[in-house]
Amino acid sequence: MLSCIASYFFQQIQMEERADKLREEVAEMIASSTTTASRLHLIDALERLCLDHLFEQEISAALAQVETADVSDCDLGTVALWFCLLRKHRYTVSPGSNMNILSPSQNPKISVAMVFVPVKFF
């Protein structure tokens, strides 16, 4: 009986050490992500997994850097994620700021199919 209890506490200590090590690794991943897109997708993944509360300081620091990033060369999904994450974390971001996505001639990454075209119904 005593050996079972000791084994349980030993396993719990090992798991807590492993969790701390993994937290440090993820914090390092946030800090060392090289592109704006990778940093945004990592933050989004942490929020979707409900692990963002463990990395509040790292996410705040990353979003402060991402706020002024030029996202005009990113794809539309990354720009939408940039906008959504900054708004969600109470940054003041206006639609269209830092971005010329309104016409395909201004941004070649946007195809003609992405431009809004009103549809007539019968």
3-state secondary structure 74-89: CCHHHHHHHHHHHHHC
User: For residue 104, what pLDDT is reported?
Assistant: 46
Contact predicate 71/36, CB 8 Å = yes
Architecture of 2-114 per CATH?
A: Alpha/alpha barrel (1.50)
| pLDDT given at position 111 | 46
Q: What is the number of other CB atoms lying within 10 angstroms of the CB of residue 116? A: 6
H-helix segments, 33-104: 36-48, 56-67, 76-88
* Residue among 32, 31, 35, 59 nearest 45 (CA): 59
Q: Position of tokens 């971005």?
A: 99
**Tens digit of each residue's pLDDT, the chain (122 residues):** 667 888 889 999 999 999 999 999 999 999 999 899 999 999 999 999 999 999 999 999 999 999 988 888 899 999 999 999 999 998 888 776 554 544 445 555 544 444 444 445 54
H or E stretch at 31: helix 2-32
